[in-house]
Structure 1
Amino acid sequence: MTTIDKRKFLTASAGFLASLLGSVALPAFADEAAPATPPADTEPPAKAVGAPFDWEGLVARMKAKAGEPYEAQAPEFPETIAKLTYDAHRSIRFRPDHALWKTEERNFELQAFYPGWVFAHTVDMFEVVDGQAYPMGFSAGDFEYREPLDPAAFNAVAFPGAAGFRLHYPLNRNDYRDELITFLGSSYFRALGRGNVYGLSARGLAVDTASGSAEEFPRFSRFYVERPETGAREIRLYAELESPRVSGAYAFTILPGVETLIDVEAAIFLRGDVSRLGLAPLTSMYLFGENDRTGFDDFRPEVHDSDGLAILRGNGERVWRPLANPARLQLSVFGDENPRGFGLLQRDRATDNYLDAEARYERRPSVWVEPVGDWGKGAVLLAEIPTDSEANDNVVAFWMPEGGLSAGSEHRLRYRMIWARDVEGDVPLARVLRTRTGRGGNSAAEGDANVRKFLVDFAGETLAGLGEESAVEAKLGVTNGKIAHLILNQMPGSDVWRLIVDVKRVDADQPVELSAALLLEGERLTETWTYQWGQIK
């Protein structure tokens, strides 16, 4: 399993402002005030003919496709497009005045992405009006070709189709349509809540991720976007998903706001056996932070799009797992039945904890996945991949169903995604405030690689007002380790309770799993903190 290069995905789309990019700061476009003249349009297309479209028909079509051999579609681009470099591709921008619905009072507008560079596939795009699907028909003339490109070189190029698209909506101001959501590359998409800048991404599906076999990347090959009503507050679109072993139909209903809500309905059909099926997958970046700075000589205290995995288990237990950048691939599996939700969160919102006025990590969205209906037995899997660059997405989290991995299996599911600064709301339990780790023992003692110290601070309403004399106790679990030392106390002048524990590893070839929660007279006061101390050898 390899990391996903954000330079090739998250920042590929020409026209993103530097402050809205994933993790890579890019230079400004040359001559922003005077874009080059676009090439002339080709002959206008004939009047489009619609075809009947509805959700059930799409599901039936994709189910039928799953029973047929997969046909790979890799268009041969003209040489001018095939040879586009990263910088050249960034110099091609969609013309804002050509956006679909631009001059209409529909609140939403749609812009396309140019193919080429790492985007070797195009997507078919249709506008759905009154149950009829009409081709959108983008052309070369819908794009600007900026320096150092020569616009004349693109005049004779036959436009092969869009690589993806983005939707705009007046998210932050009533008089300006901000970028809201992007669908670009495989089955990737990413969205924004009010005040956010782009960070982590979602996928339609993950196939054999971190399974020991080659990962397969299904892709959205065709989109159907319903024309929004005048003054619309939400928009609905559909997608076809295909890969050698999977076929699927997806429906997305998007409601922008402080919390941007995306309701997803998916029908997934397996045409081949898979080892691991990842539903509602999230992908993020964690380079270093308060609990894991090893080996990074950087003026910034923390660099990450997300700092933890949160899970609301089927039995109501809340789990918090701080992320890490391990020395080798690290997997954590949280078995469950009918989970109530999970997500990759950016809890730390303090600007001074990042000191990055360009990347603005404190403004990256958190994403919460909330199942609709029962998902049955399975597990939330967290994969953390070593990386030395903030340009790489190295964290993946998704739900793994327990069964249905053989050819002919199908999965129907619905879930809501919440993209926002705060996706947890008023949780009736104290949360983990911070996690720090370091060499075990005391400062005067010689270090032992098999002993490590963990500091966990808890804070929240359930701890407020409890004095140091309160009989608060720590419920601690450890696998492949022994507790060498433990201290729990209330921090002076605050409602923060601090747990400090030294753990001695038993088997150097295996990771150590830790968990902790605070209780009072048997009643749980906090969420459950979990941590994996990776193997040494």
Structure 2
Amino acid sequence: MSTLPAMAQDAPSDERESFSFAALTDSMREAAKAPYEPPAPIEGPWAALDYDAYRRINFDTDRAVWAGDDAVFQLHAYPMGWLFREPLRIFEVTDGTARPIEFTLDDFRVDPGVAADLSGENGPSLPGVAGFRINTPLNDPSRYDEVVSFLGASYFRALGRGNTYGISARGLAVNTATGRDEEFPRFSAAWLERPAPGAEQIVFYTALESASVTGAFRFVLRPGETTVIDVTTRLFMRQDVRQLGIAPLTSMYLFGPSDRGGFDDYRPAVHDSEALILTSAGQTSFRQLANPPRLANSYLAARNPQSFGLVQRSREFDQYLDSGAHYERRPSLIVEPVGEWGAGNVRLIEIPSELEVNDNIVAFWVPEAEARAGDELSFDYRLYWGMDPAGARSDKACVLRTTTGEGGVSGVANANGHRKFVIDFQGGTLGEIDDPEAVTPSASATNGEIAEAVLSRIDGTDIWRLVLEVDATSGQAVELRADLRANDVPLSETWLYQWQTE
């Protein structure tokens, strides 16, 4: 028996039932009292699709839901197949009632070669849809562009104006990198309110299910220069969970100026995000990302954080030189908690990777209180997607770049075994200071030693450069921290880095 609300079961397409977020919340609360029943994955030719075949099945934009001259938003669907073998039921909500939206194979443009492979005894048919996307005139009033996409487990991603897809968000992370099997809750049904003509936002809802938790989610999407999504989350625990990850973010970092590794590549940098940023108690921490030699974990403690996220600050083509991927256009994504989240930490996980197709960066909020069976939890937050969203930088001097190399004097042989870290700061009131004696660095190393710290202003610029020489034994995870101060008052963000010695 399904644990979903009645309207998420197989109702006729012309049948309507009342719908509200309160009713969805009550349904998911009741669902948490019953054991989880995973859906039966698809079988047959759709399940056999590989990546190349799957990408040759595309939604026919001429059949978009809500298409019309006065439509601000249009709805498209993704087929099942390849990695996406579990169905997502989709409903339209109007005047407080919901009806199923039924998609057929006629809604998709299928490459003739792939269509032949999908034919069964009665010809090809659609086993269901795996997700949806919403299009709107984001970049050009005469063209409908993707602004948000929900596909796979509880993953979704969005774009601000001028962005290309990169970083993803998730509804929830359960037991990620805890030594136990990770659980991937899935959005099993979605309800979208039919937008009014000229609407500037669209509201939709999802049901979340897994073996350990159920949830009701409400999303309010407002596209723009920075696209904003308000998220209301109600969670109901079926089982104890060792680690609950709230507002999870998933991205990719292969290499950059601070961490080239062994990559023999014409491009100077390859990453969707370059740093984790956290603002708490009025101070911003900038944690430079890395592609480590072994699994890396960092925990940034906070109480009622103002915001956190993964940012892409380097916005010039010359910083990447990739005319296909255009990493300079990947959005930063900032999470702004609404209300008090209490004590906890932002956990950052960096996974060794050799390929840029692998998402190897994960970050999320971990509440201090453990999640136990029977608990009801609420987390509301706002997501900002864009080139430079609110919270992506501090009002103090920001970290402009981080570079690293062999320690010692450049241009000569060195045998001191040190690692050199060069951090450039720019902005805020720091650029107005000319006296080098007025600014002092504050730097520390855990599991290592700072042998030397030299601060100077780069001639002819407003950039201040801090050079750290760090010593550590092999096999260490050295946590580095630095900022710039005047009379012990911070003038800059706090730079953080984890150096894993070989």
Normalised TM-score (structure 1): 0.88
Q: 1:128 aligns with which of 58, 70, 93?
A: 93
Q: 1:299 aligns with which of 236, 260, 266?
A: 266
Q: 2:195 aligns with which of 228, 236, 239?
A: 228
In structure 2, the residue matched to 1:32 is none
CA distance in 1, matches of 2:259, 2:152: 31
| Deviation, structure 1 residue 294 | 1.1
CA distance in 1, matches of 2:13, 2:130: 23
The 5 Å alignment of 1:84-483 reads: 84-103=49-68, 105-150=70-115, 153-154=118-119, 156-313=123-280, 315-424=281-390, 427-443=394-410, 444-449=412-417, 451-483=418-450
CA distance in 1, matches of 2:135, 2:177: 34
Number of residue pairs matched?
488
| Deviation, structure 1 residue 448 | 4.9
Is the 8 Å Cα contact of residues 425 and 492 (structure 2) preserved in structure 1? yes
Q: In structure 1, what residue type is equivalent to 2:53? A: A
Is the 8 Å Cα contact of residues 90 and 101 (structure 2) preserved in structure 1? yes
Q: 2:484 aligns with which of 518, 522, 532?
A: 518
| Deviation, structure 1 residue 47 | 5.8
Q: In structure 1, what residue type is equivalent to 2:52? A: D
Is the 8 Å Cα contact of residues 168 and 251 (structure 2) preserved in structure 1? yes
| Deviation, structure 1 residue 156 | 2.2
Runs of at least 5 residues in structure 2 that lack an aligned partner in the other structure: 1-10
CA distance in 1, matches of 2:286, 2:272: 16
CA distance in 2, matches of 1:206, 1:421: 26
| Deviation, structure 1 residue 161 | 1.1
In structure 2, the residue matched to 1:65 is 31
Q: 1:490 aligns with which of 448, 457, 477?
A: 457
Q: Aligned with 1:464: secondary structure?
A: helix
Q: In structure 1, what residue type is equivalent to 2:27? A: R
Q: Aligned with 1:62: secondary structure?
A: helix
Determine what percentage of the aligned residue pairs are the same residue: 48
Is the 8 Å Cα contact of residues 98 and 142 (structure 1) preserved in structure 2? yes
Q: In structure 1, what residue type is equivalent to 2:203? A: R
| Deviation, structure 1 residue 176 | 1.1
CA distance in 1, matches of 2:68, 2:196: 13
Cα RMSD for the two superposed structures = 1.6
- Counterparts in 2 of 1:447 and 1:409: CA distance versus 1, 3 Å: farther
Is the 8 Å Cα contact of residues 479 and 496 (structure 2) preserved in structure 1? yes
CA distance in 2, matches of 1:96, 1:447: 63
Q: Which moved more, 1:153-162 or 1:451-460?
A: 153-162
CA distance in 1, matches of 2:501, 2:461: 36
- Counterparts in 2 of 1:95 and 1:474: CA distance versus 1, 3 Å: same
Q: 1:527 aligns with which of 487, 493, 500?
A: 493
Is the 8 Å Cα contact of residues 384 and 390 (structure 2) preserved in structure 1? no
Q: Aligned with 1:149: secondary structure?
A: helix
CA distance in 2, matches of 1:470, 1:424: 33
Q: In structure 2, what residue type is equivalent to 1:382? A: L
Q: 1:51 aligns with which of 17, 31, 34?
A: 17
- Counterparts in 2 of 1:509 and 1:427: CA distance versus 1, 3 Å: closer
CA distance in 1, matches of 2:89, 2:244: 26
Is the 8 Å Cα contact of residues 513 and 530 (structure 1) preserved in structure 2? yes
| Deviation, structure 1 residue 509 | 3.7
| Deviation, structure 1 residue 428 | 2.1
CA distance in 2, matches of 1:61, 1:522: 54
Is the 8 Å Cα contact of residues 240 and 373 (structure 2) preserved in structure 1? yes
Q: Which moved more, 1:171-180 or 1:421-430?
A: 421-430
Runs of at least 5 residues in structure 1 that lack an aligned partner in the other structure: 1-44
CA distance in 1, matches of 2:13, 2:354: 52
CA offset digits 1:366-403 (Å, max 9, x no partner) = 00000000001100000000000000000001000011
- Counterparts in 2 of 1:295 and 1:509: CA distance versus 1, 3 Å: closer
| Deviation, structure 1 residue 158 | 3.6
| Deviation, structure 1 residue 470 | 4.0
CA distance in 2, matches of 1:499, 1:262: 37
Is the 8 Å Cα contact of residues 437 and 455 (structure 1) preserved in structure 2? yes
Normalised TM-score (structure 2): 0.94
Q: In structure 1, what residue type is equivalent to 2:103? A: F
| Deviation, structure 1 residue 327 | 0.4
CA distance in 1, matches of 2:321, 2:275: 20
